[in-house]
Structure 1
Amino acid sequence: MVAVSKSEPEPKRRADEDGDTLLSVDSIDTHYGESHILFDLSLSIDRGDIVALVGRNGAGKTTTLRSIMGLTPVTNGEITKGGEQIHRREPHEIRNRGISWIPEERRVFTGLTVEENLRLAAHSGDGAQADRFEEIYRRFPRLDERRGQDAGTLSGGEQQMLAIARALLGPETDLLLLDEPSEGLAPQIVDDVAAIIRELNEEGVTILLVEQNAEMALELADYAYVLETGAIVHESPAAELATDREAMESYLGVK
């Protein structure tokens, strides 16, 4: 495979080619005040896939997720989920349409217990949520062991598990946006988090994975986009990019 240059991008993967696109980001621009951050950015995510969005620090990866969630509104272009336009909706409306975002650095409520963090996410203390809580604790036995422990005293890996668990509560999630889930974690814990991501996907959750750890992201993903200074400069099946050493070094600094 030949690395794709900025001037000669690969043909984009379109909904009519695949037939089951869950999320489509079409030619968006995003600004922070007067600063232009994303430039004519397009990507699509097929239902059931893991899609990796990789790039160097400052490339605009988190801004892409914030744009999808309506936290940093786009100034041009459109975003649709299941064919419904969502880019003009409020963040809570987008969440209610099945998109959940786990931000960088987890952002758990450190002064609350594990159980309290989860109950806040579910907006319920008992009743219909009881079975879902038990399902979460079965999936994350470490959280079960620490139900009454303050989240701020958990390890980084445990906080990441709590952040993922919170995202699975509340409105049903069929698209999960993950921002740097391996950041600051020991290698063994990174493997544990990767296994959780893979398991969620096997159970039907579609995932957009933003990762500085490109090798981990590409191992998990079906398809990959490379972002550089706010623009997509390369896209391909993830396995192709992972074995293209020229592209990996040029775009991501991986030798």
Structure 2
Amino acid sequence: MAEDMLSVDGIDTHYGESHVLFDVSLSVGRGEVVALVGRNGAGKTTTLRSIMCLTPVTSGEITKDGEPIHGLEPHGVRKRGVSWVPEERRVFGDLTVEENLRLAAHSGDGGDDRFEDVYERFPRLDERRDQKAGTMSGGEQQMLAIARGLLGPETDLLLLDEPSEGLAPQIVDDVADIIRDLNEDGVTILLVEQNAEMALELADRAYVLETGEVVHDAPAGELLADREAMESYLGVK
């Protein structure tokens, strides 16, 4: 297996008095796509929020490239090269595509040098530089959200939260192609996705979360081929 870029070791996370994650452990090797799948409410987004220190862990450790990050502020995690693309996309609808990207590009040292590279990777965004983000389709907004995640402090680990949510099937295929291309270009990805079959087709390995606990981990292709496990854990027949 590839050298671990991200290691999550026995974390517990609470929302107030509610215990949400229980002794969760997972790893993401350099250059991998790792899928984190499970039913709604399993704790997938909370795991990403814990990694980004948006919802701090109450116990356990998280390391990036062997260095602890679980005690940092979110911007400190971002400076370590970890970027989160949330499910809600959170683009600035009243700003143009270019303005959205410029904000991200200037959020860290050296980001602006990669600005035109993003347009080359996302030609549809290049065509819409002057269009307000709020007037674009859901698929285009998802592209913009991913593009923003690649700017700022140099991203080598991308946390993607439900990138196919609410998108038409053809656009889902386009987003899958973007994820595949990013990984081929060296970006390591932790992918949270309700569309388990899509996630497992993209991933090298997978973890299944159930009510805040990791209940299964396996090579992604092995899990995808195990129809009994897919139905039991994920409700996919």
Range of TM-score over shorter length: over 0.9
Tell me the secondary structure at the aligned position of residue 154 of structure 2: coil
For residues 115 and 19 of structure 1, do their structure 2 counterparts lie closer, same or farther at Cα, with a shift above 3 Å needed?
closer
Q: How far has the Cα of 1:129 moved from its partner?
A: 5.7
Aligned partner (choices 43, 65, 76) of residue 93 of structure 1:
76
Residue by residue, what CA displacement relative to the aligned partner does 1:91-137 show, whole Å, maximum 9, x if unpaired?
0000000000000021101110000000000117xxx7665222111
Aligned counterparts of 2:114 and 2:132: Cα–Cα separation in 1 = 21
Tell me the secondary structure at the aligned position of residue 181 of structure 1: coil
Residue by residue, what CA displacement relative to the aligned partner does 1:150-207 show, whole Å, maximum 9, x if unpaired?
1000000000000011011110001000000000001110010000000000011000
Pairwise mapping of residues 102-117 of structure 1 onto structure 2 (< 5 A)? 102-117=85-100
Unaligned runs of 5+ in 2: none
2:105 counterpart residue number: 122
Unaligned runs of 5+ in 1: 1-17
1:162 aligns with 2:140: no
For residues 244 and 133 of structure 1, do their structure 2 counterparts lie closer, same or farther at Cα, with a shift above 3 Å needed?
same
Aligned counterparts of 2:100 and 2:54: Cα–Cα separation in 1 = 22
Q: In structure 1, what residue type is equivalent to 2:227?
A: R
2:116 counterpart residue number: 134
RMSD (Å) for aligned C-alpha atoms: 1.1
Q: In structure 1, what residue type is equivalent to 2:184?
A: E
Q: How far has the Cα of 1:138 moved from its partner?
A: 1.2
Aligned counterparts of 2:10 and 2:112: Cα–Cα separation in 1 = 42
Aligned counterparts of 2:12 and 2:236: Cα–Cα separation in 1 = 28
Q: In structure 2, what residue type is equivalent to 1:227?
A: L
Q: In structure 2, what residue type is equivalent to 1:154?
A: M
1:192 aligns with 2:174: yes
Q: In structure 2, what residue type is equivalent to 1:229?
A: T
Q: In structure 2, what residue type is equivalent to 1:98?
A: G
2:38 counterpart residue number: 55
For residues 130 and 227 of structure 1, do their structure 2 counterparts lie closer, same or farther at Cα, with a shift above 3 Å needed?
closer
Equivalences, count? 235
For residues 234 and 133 of structure 1, do their structure 2 counterparts lie closer, same or farther at Cα, with a shift above 3 Å needed?
same
Q: In structure 2, what residue type is equivalent to 1:223?
A: R
Pairwise mapping of residues 102-251 of structure 1 onto structure 2 (< 5 A)? 102-123=85-106, 131-251=113-233
1:46 aligns with 2:12: no
Aligned counterparts of 2:5 and 2:60: Cα–Cα separation in 1 = 17
Aligned counterparts of 1:164 and 1:158: Cα–Cα separation in 2 = 10
Q: In structure 2, what residue type is equivalent to 1:230?
A: G
Q: In structure 2, what residue type is equivalent to 1:100?
A: S
Identity %: 80
TM-score (norm 1): 0.90
**Divergent runs of 4+, >6 A:** none
Aligned counterparts of 2:165 and 2:2: Cα–Cα separation in 1 = 34
For residues 144 and 235 of structure 1, do their structure 2 counterparts lie closer, same or farther at Cα, with a shift above 3 Å needed?
same
Q: How far has the Cα of 1:24 moved from its partner?
A: 0.4
Checking the alignment, whether the CA contact within 8 Å between 2:39 and 2:234 is kept in structure 1 is yes
